[in-house]
Amino acid sequence: MGKPVPSGWSLAGGVVVQAEVVVALIAGGAGLAVAVASVPLNYALARRVRREDEQDLMARYRDPFLWAMHDLRSRIRTILDDEFLTRFLINGEDAIPTSVDFMNVYARRHTVFVLAEYLGWVEIVRRTVGFLDLGDQRMNRSLLEYLTTIRRVLFAVDLDPIFHVPTGQQRAIGELMIVPERDGERRNWRCIGFAEFCARLDRDEYFAGWFKRVDQGVVNFASQAPGSNRLVELNMRLTELIDFLDPSQTRFPLRDQERPHYRSQE
């Protein structure tokens, strides 16, 4: 017979082991098992948190991005349907005549602004979420295709000169149109408004220089015969993109309504 096992010890596999060691080994093994089992759970939780952050970004940026698309499309339609540029740049129409020719300056600057604002939001989306995550790979791919198509329409050399913006200039204008802002510890972006845009045109030659070519295209177009294949194409592509992001017309319920009988100055 073997020697008796001392008090507080146990026999494990023919080896005498102190009871506290056995308890420690069991506890350690259980802890390891819990840790291993928690890896998939922690990964899932991290993905969920990241997903919620992405959805928050999407909610924050999708609506202003849609407004920028809507404003650009609205201006394109007034140019095509109401001869907006010809009326104010050539004919000098103004409901309230002033000595500073307000509507002439406004028409030029705001037309350039709505294009620049759209490019600014494209840059924000590019920097922040890559592209707006719609929760479905097929929809994400479709969105990227819409944005790519509009980018190509803007730089196509075989279309009208108005709104001809090479790819690099599109990025540069987008970069100039956005400014950072803080939301707690998170860094967000916003697009500058029309008032700030005009102020920077007046005081910042470097900033204004990036828009001279676009502005000249607007001025030249005002004296041409009505019609523009680039604007027609942009109108169609922007409409498709807005319909894609707002299929139920929740944000723009009247966008398909017939044109009003009065002539809008917008």
User: Consecutive 10-residue runs of the chain (266 residues): their mean pLDDT?
Assistant: 56 56 64 62 51 55 91 95 93 82 94 98 84 69 91 95 96 97 74 98 98 96 85 96 86 55 47
Using alpha carbons, list the distances in angstroms from residue 182 to 16, 109, 162, 186, 189. Answer: 64, 29, 36, 6, 8
pLDDT at 90: 92
Distance in angstroms (rounded) separating the CA atoms of residues 17 and 28: 16
The answer to whether the beta carbons of residues 264 and 82 sit under 8 Å apart is: yes
- Whose structure tokens read 């398909």? 256
pLDDT at 49: 44
pLDDT at 36: 63
Q: State which amino acid sits at residue 25.
A: L
Q: Which two tokens stand for residue 163?
A: 């709104």
pLDDT at 256: 59
pTM: 0.75
pLDDT at 262: 41
Q: Which two tokens stand for residue 73?
A: 């499309």
Distance in angstroms (rounded) separating the CA atoms of residues 21 and 15: 12
Distance in angstroms (rounded) separating the CA atoms of residues 94 and 75: 17
pLDDT at 68: 96
Q: Which of 29, 121, 107 is nearest to 66 (CA)?
A: 121
